[in-house]
Structure 1
Amino acid sequence: MKLKQLTITFLAFCVAAFSGMKAASAASFSVIADGLNNAGGLSFGPDGNLYVTEAGIGGNGACVPPASGQGDSLCYGTSGAVTKIENGKTERILTGLPSIALPDGTGAAGPRDIKFDATGKPYVLIGYGANPAFRDRNLGYTDLGKIIAPDFNTNSWKSVADIANYELANNPDGGDVGSNPLGLLIDGNKLVVVDAGANDLLSVNTNGINLQAITTFPQDILTNPIFPPSDTPSNEPAQVPSQNETPRSQFATQPVPSSVAKGADGGYYVSQFTGFPFPEGGAKIYRVGADRKLTVYADGFTQLTDLEFDPEGNLYALQYANQSAWKGNFDGSVIKIAPDGTRTTLLSGNGLESPSALTIGADGAVYVTNRGDRPGGGQVLRIENIKSIPEPDSAFGVLAIGILGVAWLHKKHRRDSSRLYKIKISPNKLFNSQSPKV
């Protein structure tokens, strides 16, 4: 990502755009885990239990500058973890993982995703959210920005691949250097990774050999973009037009890819979070073919954080929020996209706030990490009792009604707690990745 447009730190024709009737659903959910620290990805293990990553709350160690160059530094600790959910009980089964965060524990980068291979071996993706040049120089040896293979029995792990260092050495998109690995997929003997900071999709063999970029994602050119009011606090002050400035007719914003899933057609599907100013309806789902050709599978979303296919070929997309970050509304949505392009909103708002990841259980239920942007407030939800309700037709299928908050909102909400009941955190803080390219 470009220095002047840092943000999230963590898709040519829309097949559903004119598909006729779309639907919404009435759904309820149960909370099956609570009290998580900046909860990230989740996956079912070979034992049938659910595993979720926690990015932690940083610590009192050495610090690195934030990706945007604005605000407090991100300081190191070993508060990252992997938690197992079994029979309604939670247990941190892997602890001491690297974590960096702001002094109040927000904006954390650390364990971001977990997947199990065909043999049941786990792999964990560790985020970073800053310039890789600062990592070893400021923090010493750490596994931030890497893929690791943990051993839950011994609370230990081995490094498999260094995603952040690949960005430092190669910088595939040619922009400013920054790395924040967010999404992990296991495809046979390959580990496929989305780096939101580097704006690319990479693969590496499970033995750590042949780390390479598959493709990079282009900037988006916004027409007549909507910015926060000029007197609004922002973590992107240089990008907010002043009162006397002529409104910009075009504005280049970063793609910020956030997750990857594999379709039955063999393609990789990549969600887009988007960069500042987080345009509503501006996020896409990209398809990357075997020939590495990049096309847009679906669009009209807002700040997507995760994707997952079910056995029937339905693609589930997760919106972190349904409005632009700086508006301060953090209601998110789970949207199902059928193979024919029909979209169904399973859940929107009503307790779904700043969700960060989802997975589909063997029981067919959708499991979501909720409130994934805050220390001590993260949850895992099980969405159930889904009933479809017809909605009017729309040229964009499901128009995203959401978006996350920018970094300043978290602190502002703390100051204004008498008016807002929960602390909300920004895309930068959730993913630390409009720290993308720093």
Structure 2
Amino acid sequence: MKLKQLTITFLTFCVAAFSGMKAVSAASFSVIADGLYNAGGLSFGPDGNLYVTEAGIGGNGACVPPASGQGDSLCYGTSGAVTKIENGKTERILTGLPSLALPDGTGASGPRDIQFNAKGKPYVLIGYGANPTFRDRNLGYTDLGKIIAPNFNTNSWTSVADLANYELANNPDGADVSSNPLGFIIDGNKLVVVDAGANDLLSVNADKSNLQAIVAFPQDILTNPVFPPSDTPSNEPAQVPSQGEVVRSQFPTQAVPSNLAKGPDGAYYVSQFTGFPFPEGGAKIYRVGTDGKASVFADGFTQLTDLEFDPAGNLYALQYANQSAWKGNFDGSVIKIATDGTRTTLLSGNGLESPSALTIGADGAVYVTNRGDRPGLGQVLRIENIKSIPEPDSTLGVLAITALGVGWLHKKRNHPEF
């Protein structure tokens, strides 16, 4: 069983395999952008406007097999983009970026995240979602699986780092060769990236030097896992137990890193998207210290896609779905972890569906890319007048953040240090 590929395949193809949404709890938010194509990361630029990536819908170009080797091929196009949101209006300011998707435009890989340094220079992360061996062989030269530095004025860009090729050459976790970088931050003169396909955390200098893995993340062992019924639609039907089959009480699964934030203690905090069978409450947040060692900071989440610290040191976690996604309910949540470890749900369901990324504005509002896996239906939400919903008691294993310091002014999306 190819655990890493199974997890990343689900991250890529979930909407193609499942359907059925419903809203649950009341919430207050406004839609500030709509009609986006597989919307990903978002960040405020030096002009105060919000920028969001769109992975696009692939195209009619050459194709590569999906990470799991099962299902339709992913075909290449140049439908990826970066969109600026200014005064309620959207404008695609960078177009023609590489995109890889299923024939119907779902399961897209392409522009996944955007960050600006303190001098206003933008960087864009391009996903891939397949075995790097097929990239150059099947597609020719492309910037899939790379970090690029764009010029919005000339609609051009240069390559900064080839993450997919690093996985092909090094494969730090020793498992299946696959690359799908999903999120990154700027930390001093470094770009720090999570690669969900490679299952690792990497860094590269802004001058393109010293690309290296910081840490690879461990496999999980589930105890008494809950599997979907044998007749449940699945991208990996071989992994769904058949009727009468004895289900193992110990089941190995490979969760993958989905995004990261830098904490006030200087450590990196990494969100986890759990592997099949996507156990509810099975996702963790890892803390990667300056020594490069990963430890569990908090657990009890379900399918996380992003993290963000606010200036006071509170950590916000974005949950792609509150239930195992094979159940067909993609209501997501924004969850706040206070510096003392107290957890509250700020928004759950009520239109928040399969969200992919979040950021915190200078106005203190939380901005979220919503329906981030649906071509033409993606949104950016501004969450306002939030009514917090206290979490019930649980065995979360949350470590208090108090020791990390309050009044912290570092932001993942805006870095004054250079």
Structure 1 residue 395 displacement after superposition: 3.3
- CA distance, structure 1, for counterparts of residue 169 and residue 390 of structure 2: 51
- CA distance, structure 2, for counterparts of residue 385 and residue 340 of structure 1: 23
Partner SS, residue 375 of structure 2: coil
- CA distance, structure 2, for counterparts of residue 389 and residue 111 of structure 1: 33
Structure 2 unaligned blocks of 5 or more: 12-24, 399-418
Instruction: Within 5 Å, give how 1:62-141 maps onto structure 2.
Output: 62-141=62-141
Instruction: Within 5 Å, give how 1:140-179 maps onto structure 2.
Output: 140-179=140-179
- CA distance, structure 1, for counterparts of residue 390 and residue 375 of structure 2: 37
- CA distance, structure 2, for counterparts of residue 254 and residue 183 of structure 1: 18
- CA distance, structure 2, for counterparts of residue 315 and residue 391 of structure 1: 15
Instruction: Within 5 Å, give how 1:18-417 maps onto structure 2.
Output: 27-390=27-390, 392-396=392-396
Kindly indicate whether the alpha-carbon contact (under 8 Å) linking 2:298 and 2:397 is maintained by their aligned counterparts in 1.
Answer: no
One-letter identity of the residue aligned with 2:156: S
- CA distance, structure 2, for counterparts of residue 389 and residue 71 of structure 1: 40
Q: TM-score, normalised by structure 2?
A: 0.90
- CA distance, structure 2, for counterparts of residue 298 and residue 67 of structure 1: 29
Q: Structure 1 residues 390, 165: closer, same or farther in 2, change over 3 A?
A: closer
- CA distance, structure 2, for counterparts of residue 282 and residue 166 of structure 1: 29
- CA distance, structure 1, for counterparts of residue 236 and residue 221 of structure 2: 18
Kindly indicate whether the alpha-carbon contact (under 8 Å) linking 1:279 and 1:302 is maintained by their aligned counterparts in 2.
Answer: yes
Q: Structure 1 residues 362, 4: closer, same or farther in 2, change over 3 A?
A: closer
Partner SS, residue 369 of structure 1: strand
- CA distance, structure 1, for counterparts of residue 74 and residue 280 of structure 2: 29
One-letter identity of the residue aligned with 1:249: S
- CA distance, structure 1, for counterparts of residue 83 and residue 65 of structure 2: 29
Partner SS, residue 382 of structure 1: strand
- CA distance, structure 2, for counterparts of residue 306 and residue 353 of structure 1: 14
Kindly indicate whether the alpha-carbon contact (under 8 Å) linking 1:343 and 1:397 is maintained by their aligned counterparts in 2.
Answer: no
One-letter identity of the residue aligned with 1:326: W
% identity of equivalent residues? 89
Structure 1 residue 5 displacement after superposition: 5.5
Kindly indicate whether the alpha-carbon contact (under 8 Å) linking 2:5 and 2:176 is maintained by their aligned counterparts in 1.
Answer: no
Partner SS, residue 287 of structure 1: strand
One-letter identity of the residue aligned with 1:8: I
Alignment correspondent of 1:423: none
- CA distance, structure 2, for counterparts of residue 292 and residue 303 of structure 1: 24
Q: Once the two structures are superposed, what CA deviation does each residue of 1:156-212 show, in whole Å capped at 9, x if it has no partner?
A: 000000000000000000001000000111001000000000000000000110000
Structure 1 residue 7 displacement after superposition: 2.5
Partner SS, residue 28 of structure 2: strand
Partner SS, residue 377 of structure 1: strand
Q: TM-score, normalised by structure 1?
A: 0.86
Q: Once the two structures are superposed, what CA deviation does each residue of 1:378-415 show, in whole Å capped at 9, x if it has no partner?
A: 000000002335454333389xxxxxxxxxxxxxxxxx
Structure 1 residue 325 displacement after superposition: 1.5
- CA distance, structure 2, for counterparts of residue 108 and residue 228 of structure 1: 25
One-letter identity of the residue aligned with 1:381: L
Q: Structure 1 residues 211, 224: closer, same or farther in 2, change over 3 A?
A: same
Aligned residues: 384
Q: Structure 1 residues 390, 39: closer, same or farther in 2, change over 3 A?
A: closer
Alignment correspondent of 2:414: none
- CA distance, structure 1, for counterparts of residue 300 and residue 3 of structure 2: 26
One-letter identity of the residue aligned with 1:150: P
Partner SS, residue 376 of structure 2: coil
Structure with the bigger RCO (C-alpha within 8 Å, sep 6+) is 1
- CA distance, structure 1, for counterparts of residue 174 and residue 274 of structure 2: 18
Q: Once the two structures are superposed, what CA deviation does each residue of 1:128-168 show, in whole Å capped at 9, x if it has no partner?
A: 00000000000000000000000000000000000000000
- CA distance, structure 2, for counterparts of residue 26 and residue 100 of structure 1: 36
One-letter identity of the residue aligned with 2:371: R
Structure 1 unaligned blocks of 5 or more: 11-24, 399-438
Q: Structure 1 residues 317, 291: closer, same or farther in 2, change over 3 A?
A: same
Alignment correspondent of 1:435: none
Q: Structure 1 residues 233, 204: closer, same or farther in 2, change over 3 A?
A: same
Kindly indicate whether the alpha-carbon contact (under 8 Å) linking 2:4 and 2:176 is maintained by their aligned counterparts in 1.
Answer: no
